[in-house]
Chains A and B, each alone.
Chain A
Amino acid sequence: MKLLEVDDLTVQYGPAVAVDNVSLELEEGERVALIGPNGAGKSSLINAICGMVKPARGRIRVRGRELTGASPGAIVRMGITQVPEGRQVFPTLPVEANLLLGAYGRDFRNELISATIRYLRRKGEIADRLERVYTLLPKLHELRERPAGQTSGGEQQMVAIGRALMAEPRLLAVDELSLGLAPMVVHGLSEFLRRLNEEEGVALLLVEQNASLAFALCSRAYVLETGRVVLSGTSEELENNENVRNAYLGSGLEAADA
C-alpha cells in the first residue's frame, strides 16, 4: 500500500484550471520532487493534497484511505504536514509556541475546548516530541523564546519545518524550500531533510523551482507544466533528459532563479 496516491486530480479556480488530471504516487520513506516553472500548478497540487483547496475532480488516497476533499486537520491526522511557501510562521508568538501549535493543531478537530483538553492529556508525549525536534534542529532551542517574526529567513524555515514535524508526519510536503534563501542556508536545510528521511523514515514531497536542488535531494521527480505532468522518472533519467536539461538545468545559471 502506497503512502500517497493521487489519481486524475483537477483543481480549478473558477474557470481557470490550475491542475489538470494529475496522477502521482509516493511510497513510504521516498523522496520525490515536483518541478516545473512558475505557475505550473505545483503549489495548487500540494494545497489540494493538504486539504487547503478542494479538487474539482479526482482522488487522493493516503495509505489506502480515501481523503479527497478532507479538511487540513484530517490530512494532518493521517500523517501529511506541509512546510508552506514563504514559511508562514506565527510572527508574534515565540518559536516554542509555534512548534507546540504544530502538535496542538493535529488533534484540533472542530472545537477549541475539547482540543485543549486533548492536548493537555498528551502533554508528556508532546514534551518528548518537542525535545526530539530540538535535538534535530538545535538552533530552534536557542531561539525558543524569540518571536518567530524576529528570526531570519533561514531560521523561519526551520521553525516551519519543526512545526510540521511536531505532528509526527509520515510525509512532509515542502513548498519552495529555497525561495528567498541564501544557497548555503538552502544546502544546510536540504542536508537536514535528507538525514531526516534516512534516519526517521519521513517521506518527502518537494515542490521546487530549483531543479538541480530537487534532483540532488530526491530520487524521483515529476515535471509539471501548465497543470499537467509532462514527464516523470528517476532523477538520473530526468537529469539526462535533453528537454529537461535545456528547460530547467540551464548552463549552471539555474541556481540564480528563485
Chain B
Amino acid sequence: MTKFLQLAVVGISTGSAFALVGIGMVLIFRTTNIVNFAQGAFAVIGGLVMVGLVDDMHGIVAGTLAVLLVALIGALIGVIAVGFRTRTTPLASLIITLGLALLASSLNLLAFGDRPHTYPTIFERAWNIGGVLVQPQFVIVVGVTVLAALLLTLGLQRTIAGQALVACADSRRAAELVGINVRAVAAIAFAVSAALSALGWVLLTPIDPVNYDSDVRIAINGFAAAAFGGLVSIRLALVGGLALGLAEQLIVGYAPGQARQYELAAALVILLVLIGWRSRHEAVE
C-alpha cells in the first residue's frame, strides 16, 4: 500500500508538471490557433537554467529568474511563430514551433552538454506521512498548477484581456480590424505559457532530471494532457495531466524491467488512444 501511495505522490507531482505544460498549450491554442511544439523546450530550458543558477543563489531567486528568462524567450518564440497574417497558416506555425524547438535543443546541447542535469532539492527535509515520503516541492507544484488552472480559466472567461486573447484565435482578422495587435497578444500568451511550463520543471527537476533532448518527451506528455481537453479546456488539461503522470508512475513502478522505455511508450499509447477517441467528437477541418 505504501508503495502505491508513494508512486501516487510522485505521479501526481509529475502529472502536475505535465498539466502545466498542457495548460500552456491550451492557452496558446485558444489565443492563436497554434499548437506549440516548443512547449517542451520551455520546460527544459527552465530546468537547465535552474540547475545552472541554484549553486550561486537562493533557490527561490534562482527559480524566479529562470521562469522570467523563459517567459522572455517564450514571447520571442511566439512572435516568430505567429508569422504574417496573410502568409502563415496555423499549420505552418506548428512547423515553425517545431523548428524553434529543435533550435532550442541544439543550443541547449551546446550550452549544457549531453548529460542529465539535476540539482539537490532546495528544501532541507521531506515530510514523512505514514511511511510515504512527500517533498514540499511536490505540494508546491500541485498547488501552483491548480491555482494557475483556476486563474487562467476565470481570466479567459471573465476579464476583458482574457476575452481579447480568445478573440485573436476566434478571428485573427476581426481582432486586427478592431485595433488589437495580434502579435503582441501572441507574445503574452506564449510568455505566460512558457512561464508555466518552466515553473513545472524548475520545481520538478530533482525527481525528473532534464537533458538537452528531454523536450520531445515533455512536449508529447503535455500534448496528451491538452488533447484530453480537446486543446481548448484548461480544466480537462489539468485532469489529463494528473492522470497521465499517475498512470506513468504506476506502470513504471509495477512493470518489470526496462522501466524508462515503457514510461514513454505508455504516454504515447495513451496519446494515440486519446486522439482516436477525440476523432469521434471533433469536427473535421
Contact = CB atoms under 8 A, between A and B. Distances in A.
Q: Do chains A and B touch in the complex (CB under 8 A)?
A: yes
Interface of A: 50, 52, 71-73, 76-77, 81-82, 84, 88-93, 97, 100-102, 104-113, 115-116, 119-120, 163, 167
B161 A73 contact: no
Contact of B167 (A76, A93, A107): A93
Interface of B: 159-161, 163-167, 170-171, 173-181, 184-185, 188
A52 B179 contact: no
Nearest to B165: A112
Nearest to A83: B177
Contact of B177 (A50, A112, A113): A50
Contacts of A91: 170-171
Given A101-B163, A112-B184, A72 B170 contact: no
Contacts of B188: 112-113
Q: Main secondary structure on chain B at its contact with chain A?
A: helix
Contacts of A116: 159-161, 164
B282 to A, nearest CB: 15
Given A97-B163, A116-B160, A88 B174 contact: yes
Which interface residue of B170, B178, B188 has the most chain A CB atoms within 10 A?
B178
10 contacts: A72-B178, A73-B181, A88-B173, A90-B171, A90-B174, A97-B163, A112-B184, A112-B188, A116-B159, A167-B178
Contacts of A112: 161, 164-165, 184-185, 188
Contacts of B160: 97, 100-101, 104, 116, 119-120
B177 A84 contact: yes
Contact of A89 (B166, B174, B179): B174
B163 A105 contact: no
B161 A102 contact: no
A100 B161 CA distance: 11
Contact of A108 (B165, B173, B181): B181
Contacts of A71: 179, 181
Contact of B184 (A52, A81, A110, A119): A110
B180 A90 contact: no
Which interface residue of B163, B166, B188 has the most chain A CB atoms within 10 A?
B163
A175 B138 CA distance: 56
Contacts of A97: 160, 163, 167
A71 to B, nearest CB: 8
Contacts of B165: 112
Given A88-B171, A108-B181, A119-B160, A93 B176 contact: no
A100 B178 CA distance: 11
A55 to B, nearest CB: 15
Contact of A90 (B167, B181, B184): B167
Nearest to A126: B160
Given A112-B184, A112-B188, A119-B160, A72 B174 contact: no
B230 to A, nearest CB: 13
Contacts of B173: 52, 84, 88
A91 B166 CA distance: 10
B174 A77 contact: no
A167 B161 CA distance: 17
Contacts of B175: 90, 101, 105
Contact of B176 (A72, A100, A111, A119): A72
B189 to A, nearest CB: 9
B171 A82 contact: no
Name the 10 nearest CB pairs between A and B, nearest first. A105-B178, A73-B179, A105-B179, A88-B174, A90-B170, A76-B179, A116-B161, A90-B167, A105-B180, A97-B163
